[in-house]
Amino acid sequence: MAYKGSERMSIEERDYMQYLFGKHISQGQVTYLRTAHMDVYERNRKGATFTDAVSGKRFYDCFSSAGSFNCGRGNEAVIDALSDALDTYDMGSHLLLSENKVRFAVKLASLCPGDLNKVVLCATGSDACAAALKLAKGATGRNDVINMLRGYHGLQGFSLSANGKDYYKELFVPLMPGFHVVPINDLEAVRRVASRNIAAILLEPTLGEGGIHPATQEYMNGLRQICDEHGIMLIFDEVQTGFGRTGALWAMEQYGVIPDIMFTAKSAGGGVYVNGAVVYREIEPLVSYVEANPLFHTSHSGGTDLGCVVTGAVLDYIVENKVWENVATAGRRFKEGLKQIARENSDIVKEVRSFGLMIGIEYKYEFIAAIMSDCLAKQGLWAVFSANSPQVMRFQLTTAISQEDVDGILSGIRAAVKEMRIYLMLLLPLAKVPMIRKVLQNTKYQIKAGNWMRNLEEFGNRLFPRRAAPRRPRPLRAAFQRLRMRAGSTASIVRK
């Protein structure tokens, strides 16, 4: 039996869970999350929110697992589709034809613009990125790729090599050769490297992990033209921008620019299953390449019968509810609210950028976003900064977010900024000294300091428990629990 979390978790249980996570998965991850009060256990995952099992506090999910929950947490239509499918299907044999694969491919193709008609079944975003690059390289017979500075496509193989931040790559050199990194929205930089050696230009229509940088219309038009001139395959990674997130089903529709290849994943699984896909144009040399090499990219966990049913239900939900309409209005309201907050805090905020419900607020110093995550968590807002641009706090609310919830989130952000100001009274003057600024920007020191403060806070909470504090076990019950946990050890957790 899988471990099923009960509705609430005592502090003792939480500590024990953290101990086990640290022992068997990663103590570093526990420490990292603890420092920012992000060591929460999600319960009642519904729509735009979840509650923390320890404190019972409601959290707005402003991260959506980097765009995995576009249809909201626990979407009933998607869960029903998966439950129904489980009555009849399992994953299916990956090599065989199936009506679910056909229905999924037909639906996906019909919802993509132009001649984006052909589908490669995949599992994750990283997997789909590999399939897209293999297709471009194989079909053109060329090796090199132009990719974006701070771009993010996953952390495996091809996608790691295409990552636009050195930090992820340094430990694993040599990686795949032939990636030319250019800044987004700089057409001249692309023109300088574009040649008949380049197989593909790969980009997210808005850099997500890269700090919410939307590509401009001029840039997209220019890329299309350069690709046409040199026979280069234009690849859009719609893993974060797809499924309604930017105010259209796909971001490419907003530009009216059709890539040769696009790929998607994450929200394709509706937050309850894994699925992804590459969609490519019905053109040469792509079609001939796949016909000659039908097994050039297979996956046992991508395009399964269950995955295809789930993605079909996600697409139906998004199209029937025209979620992009809400994304456009909620996105505008949220952006305006954030811009107002930015104006009131112009000494620390550099810029607010957005595309639909992909919204980022860039701070002047990197360490501010780390403190902001912590202050937001204390206000019941679960949000994290961009992995490849840590000075940018990004917000990716569910596409069905209501106006009231947008306003509630904005009030939470205001309260978080107010609290953050207390820390900044000391830190901002210190940050003016280059040596100290270097220390403040260092993630290792940030984590050490945050963890130390968290320990102090917990110590204080134990000494002076607040009335409204989370349910704490009584001493006898706690001692009993400790004994039971020691006796049962990990096995008791696994058996539950």
Question: Residue 124 CB, nearest distance to ligand PLP (Å)?
Answer: 3
Q: Which is nearer to ligand PLP, 123 or 377 (CB)?
A: 123
Size of the site for ligand PLP (CB under 6 A): 16
123 neighbors 265 (Cβ within 8 angstroms): yes
Return the residue of 10, 240, 254, 446 that touches ligand PLP, per CB under 6 A: 240
CA atoms within 13 A on the CB side of 452: 6
By C-beta, is 234 or 420 nearer to ligand PLP?
Answer: 234
Select the span of 83-91, 92-100, 203-211, 304-312 touching ligand PLP (CB under 6 A): 203-211
Minimum separation from the CB atom of position 67 to ligand PLP (A): 6
Say if residue 285 is exposed, middle or buried (CB neighbours under 10 Å; 0-12, 13-18, 19+): middle
Helices (H) and strands (E) in the chain, counts: 19, 17
User: Among the candidate windows 125-133, 279-287, 408-416, 458-466, which touches ligand PLP by CB under 6 A?
Assistant: 125-133
Which window, 48-56, 72-80, 147-155, 450-458, contacts ligand PLP (CB under 6 A)? 147-155
Return contacts of 341-344, CB within 8 angstroms, 24+ apart: 341/410, 341/413, 341/414, 341/417
260 binds ligand PLP (CB under 6 A): no
Mask: binding to ligand PLP, 70-89, rule CB under 6 A, as x and -? --------------------
Contact between 241 and 204 under an 8 Å Cβ cutoff? The reply is yes
CA 188/CA 193 separation, integer angstroms: 9
Of the listed pieces 21-29, 122-130, 352-360, 435-443, which binds ligand PLP according to CB under 6 A? 122-130
Cβ-based neighbours of 167, under 8 Å, separated by 6 or more: none
Q: What is the C-alpha separation between 402 and 398, in angstroms, rounded? A: 9
Shortest gap between Cβ of 243 and ligand PLP (angstroms)?
12
Phi, psi values for residue 49, rounded to 5°: -135, 165
Dist CA 202 CA 133 (whole Å) = 8
Q: How far is the CB of 209 from ligand PLP (least distance, A)?
A: 6
Q: Is 250 in the site for ligand PLP (CB under 6 A)?
A: no
Residue from 13, 144, 237, 362 touching ligand PLP (CB under 6 A): that is 237
Please report, as a single letter, which amino acid is at residue 16: Y
Question: Per-residue x/- marks for ligand PLP, 15-54, CB under 6 A?
Answer: ----------------------------------------
Instruction: Count CB atoms within 10 A of the CB of residue 412.
Output: 20
Residue 239 is a binding residue for ligand PLP (CB under 6 A): yes
Q: What is the smallest separation between the CB atom of 273 and ligand PLP, expressed in angstroms?
A: 12
State the nearest-atom distance from the C-beta of 263 to ligand PLP, in Å: 8
CB of 117 to ligand PLP, least distance (A): 22
**How many whole angstroms separate alpha carbon 317 and alpha carbon 271?**
13
What single-letter amino acid sits at 79? I
Instruction: Using the minimum distance from each CB to ligand PLP, give the nearer residue, 247 or 450.
Output: 247
DSSP calls for 52-99: ETTT--EEEESSHHHHT-TT-BT-HHHHHHHHHHHHH--S--TTS--H
As measured in angstroms, the least distance from the Cβ of 129 to ligand PLP is 6
Q: Is 209 in the site for ligand PLP (CB under 6 A)?
A: yes
Residue 144 β-bridge partners? 198
CB of 456 to ligand PLP, least distance (A): 34
Q: 200, 203, 265, 313: which one contacts ligand PLP (CB under 6 A)? A: 265
CA 424 from centroid of its chain's CA atoms = 28
Angle ∠(368,369,374) on CA atoms, nearest 5: 100
Pick from 266, 297, 335, 394 the residue near ligand PLP by CB under 6 A. Answer: 266
Is residue 285 reached through a cis peptide bond, with omega within 30 degrees of 0 on the bond before it?
yes
Residue nearest ligand PLP by beta-carbon distance:
125
Tokens for 377, please give them: 């968590």
66 lines the binding site for ligand PLP (CB under 6 A) = yes
Residue 208 interacts with ligand PLP (CB under 6 A)?
yes
What is the rounded CA–CA span in Å between residue 326 and residue 399?
7
User: What gap in Å lies between CA 427 and CA 409, rounded to an integer?
Assistant: 26
Q: Is 371 a binder of ligand PLP (CB under 6 A)?
A: no
Instruction: Confirm or reject binding of residue 307 to ligand PLP (CB under 6 A).
Output: no
Pairing label, strands 49-52, 42-46 = antiparallel
> Any idea of the CA torsion for 254, 255, 259, 264, to the nearest 10 degrees?
-30
* Residue 153 binds ligand PLP, judged by CB under 6 A: yes
Between 61 and 237, CB nearer to ligand PLP: 237
- By CB under 6 A, name the binding residues for ligand PLP: 66, 124-126, 129, 152-154, 204, 208-209, 237, 239-240, 265-266
